[in-house]
Chain A
């Protein structure tokens, strides 16, 4: 036995005595985590609020895969009244893929204040076309009015916000293609020219004529595993600044990588000043596109350790968030997945790579039996630590015939303990929070401007849920509402620090969803805070002595 062998022998000998303690123990021992975290509570106020959206997927006996995949949710202030509005994508008839019934319309709800909403879809011109999937909001033309991009099955649409409460479908004029199944999208300024570019996440090659049978021939039919379909490259559109976009997927290297994309999130993981792109893939390794800063990307998912969990097996990676959960200033990655896969968490080590922190954070144990779609790091109890929300459901409505795992699931919320670990607060989050459903997209915003982030969740075959955050702790908060000048108007890509906390301005979060809202910080008991902003332009800005419990508008300074 060589050096390695000798080392192993020594370890085995020393470990055997330790095992006696294991064998003698009747229970698995956990390092106790003091339950000092402030409670998180929600109540579903969708009915009182006037949110009556039902996500219609046109379920068929043939189990067409697209039925399992809608639908995205957007939180954005489309009319600039300071109240965050809600947009839902919706399905269509099958196999026609047409919205030939009012029930298939996408839906825009205007926030009337006081947690009351009004359906303004028709007047806004957002009823939609085709079988919609996801959506992404941002002000791509820097006119101060947030626009909307809606993905779908062979049917992507760009809606320009005209600033008068209406939107115009400018897809063709903008040069956006609609020839594949796109699930999600996100806005970011990859070339730092101050104009937002569009990343479109494409899923599988699929057509309505697909009649592949999956499941038990004598029993229930099931949605087919993605391996039965070919994957697709993603699409990157560069914003030319004249209302049109250029497909730069090939030139930038994005098109060189075939995946089965589910969601996208952006952050500058290596702190080189250029935003990088993380794409979750379904049962193939995830992508991390490192922005080289010269207009091209290199895919470094495996090299950086975020393509797969440490076990090296493919998972059904769903929605994601790319944000700093441990306040070390570096964006980390979390994603939802299916039962048995956990919700993997990758901690950014700051050396150009990530560490799989799923089990060390306790998320592995807490999530191994769960299935989820939208994942997001949000500080719900305003204690200064971002918690994790995941919308719950399995993908396959007949899964219970094949596996010991439920299809309908409640949503889940995991409180950040502030020491690198999480606690499952779901069961204490409220009576109606325990209600299982077929949850999909989710968006996160303070809909009633009370300083606590609420959640809106879509539900296949059911009424959308609006989770008002009623967490009891009286903590302070601050929301930083950015307006870019040299940078893009929304300030997407800005890095914001408040005390020891950091967060990024992004609207790409969750599954097929988008939250274009101010950057939120829970500030515990602080009465005032200092705020540091690094704008996408590179301009650094500091605002000192800002009183908490307010939405702070910050305009980008005109010079460095």
Chain B
């Protein structure tokens, strides 16, 4: 499976796992409360490093406030510091061994760290006592999928949706798995189901766009991407995928100018996305603006040095600019990155 796919899955699990986190409870330490609040503000402003420090200090100031550890685990996940995330979740479970939320946090941390066997073990333990737990079922399905057990993954998600027919996240995840496996009609069905549950699900519209693109229906794909864009324009300022997906479609249609506009908007929304800068650089290269393309591609490579696509395009752009030495260096980096890149599953 492509790394991007795994990342996409992992990111899905970040938000819904702790929807019912207890708020700031009675804590004797005013300092702990203030630090925890600072941590939450840091999370909101995406300063996860600072948030991790705040939460750690908040817990140190008030070790009775166990739930801080769950917040700490979550920000470590956002920082992709999986070992620390696991450690924080374990520490919480040591203090509250019966907590289902704690078990879920640990299972999720294992999953995010791609320690699938341990994640599976934790999830099974949760489901033994709570067989219908929706979060655990979703984790189980995703673990099965990433482990290559496709049929089991499908069955798990279908069972989840039997028990929780309005579980938007579950339907969305099943749709994503169908999409990844090229079962576009089933994927579309799940994304339509998401829309029945939540008619304003921009992710469902966005993914329906991808489905129609896969089916070769560019017009419908464009409509769905644009619907997603309209929904996120004001309500979800961080969601960049619809813009990036539209940019990719426009590139396929040979409309590099509009593709660049869409990629720019995606990059504006999420300047940490290497893909957004790659798409922008690709559009600029197609427009013959190689100088600018090189800038965008260099930014993409800087954001994710292990992303082969922008590196390769950069070699082509440098060559066209007559920058032979830069092209040579980029090509060498591409060879290394490509050799290390995970292979496609199919």
Q: Which residues of A contact B (CB under 8 A)?
A: 4-5, 7-8, 11-12, 15-16, 18-19, 21-23, 25-31, 216, 218, 225, 227, 302-303, 305, 308, 310-313, 349, 353, 355-356, 359-360, 362, 364-365, 368-369, 402-405
Contacts and interface: CB of A to CB of B under 8 A. Distances in A.
B6 to A, nearest CB: 17
A362 B254 contact: yes
Given A27-B222, A311-B309, 10 more contacts: A11-B264, A12-B265, A18-B261, A28-B218, A302-B315, A303-B331, A313-B309, A364-B254, A369-B216, A402-B181
Contacts, number: 137
A392 to B, nearest CB: 15
B258 A21 contact: yes
Interface string B294-320: 011011000000001101110110011
Contacts of A27: 219, 222
A28 B219 contact: yes
A22 B262 contact: yes
A528 to B, nearest CB: 38
Given A11-B292, A27-B222, A404-B184, A312 B286 contact: no
Contacts of A30: 253-255
Given A28-B249, A355-B320, A356-B316, A4 B255 contact: no
B10 interface: no
Contacts of A16: 261, 264-265, 268
Interface string B275-302: 0010010100110000010011011000
A368 B335 CA distance: 26
30 contacts: A5-B299, A7-B292, A8-B277, A8-B299, A11-B280, A11-B292, A11-B296, A12-B265, A18-B257, A19-B243, A22-B250, A22-B262, A23-B229, A23-B233, A26-B226, A28-B222, A30-B253, A31-B254, A227-B343, A303-B327, A305-B316, A308-B312, A310-B282, A310-B285, A312-B311, A362-B254, A365-B218, A368-B252, A402-B346, A404-B184
Nearest to A312: B312
A29 B286 contact: no
For chain B, the bracket of interface size reads 35 or more
Contacts of A23: 226, 229-230, 233
The 8 closest A-B pairs by CB, nearest first: A312-B312, A15-B264, A403-B182, A18-B261, A19-B261, A369-B216, A12-B264, A15-B261
B229 A312 contact: no
B107 interface: no
B89 to A, nearest CB: 35
A140 to B, nearest CB: 37
B251 interface: yes
B214 interface: yes
Given A19-B264, A28-B249, A312-B311, A353 B181 contact: no
Contacts of A305: 315-316, 319
A23 B216 CA distance: 20
B331 to A, nearest CB: 6
Main secondary structure of the interface of B (DSSP, over half): helix
Contacts of B162: none
A363 B211 CA distance: 21
Given A4-B298, A8-B267, A402-B181, A360 B261 contact: no
Nearest to B313: A310
A359 B252 contact: yes
Contacts of A8: 267, 277, 295-296, 299
Contacts of B280: 11
A19 B240 CA distance: 14
Contacts of B277: 8
B260 interface: yes
Nearest to B151: A218
B334 interface: yes
B253 A12 contact: no
B250 A365 contact: no
B246 interface: yes
Contacts of B164: none
A225 B229 CA distance: 38
Nearest to A369: B216
B24 interface: no
B264 A404 contact: no
B216 A22 contact: no
B216 to A, nearest CB: 4
A515 B152 CA distance: 51
A311 B312 contact: yes
A19 B331 contact: no
Contact of B267 (A12, A353, A355, A369): A12
A108 to B, nearest CB: 39
B338 interface: yes
B3 to A, nearest CB: 13
Contact of B309 (A218, A302, A312, A404): A312
B182 A404 contact: yes
A28 B250 contact: yes
B113 to A, nearest CB: 27
Contacts of A360: 254, 286
A356 to B, nearest CB: 7
A27 B218 CA distance: 8
A511 B297 CA distance: 35
Contacts of A227: 343
Nearest to A309: B312
Contacts of B214: 404
B230 to A, nearest CB: 7
A103 to B, nearest CB: 33
A18 B286 contact: no
B255 A28 contact: yes
Contacts of B185: 404
Contacts of B313: 310-312
Contact of B316 (A29, A310, A402, A403): A310
A19 B246 CA distance: 11
Contacts of B298: 4
A16 B267 CA distance: 11
Contacts of A365: 218, 252-254
B175 to A, nearest CB: 14
Contacts of B299: 4-5, 8
Contacts of A362: 254
B215 interface: yes
B222 A15 contact: no
B295 to A, nearest CB: 5
Contacts of A4: 295, 298-299
Given A12-B264, A15-B265, A16-B268, A364 B216 contact: no
B223 interface: yes
A368 B216 contact: yes
Contacts of A25: 222, 226
A432 B222 CA distance: 33
Q: Which of B150, B182, B254, B298 has most A Cβ within 10 Å?
A: B254
A359 B253 CA distance: 7
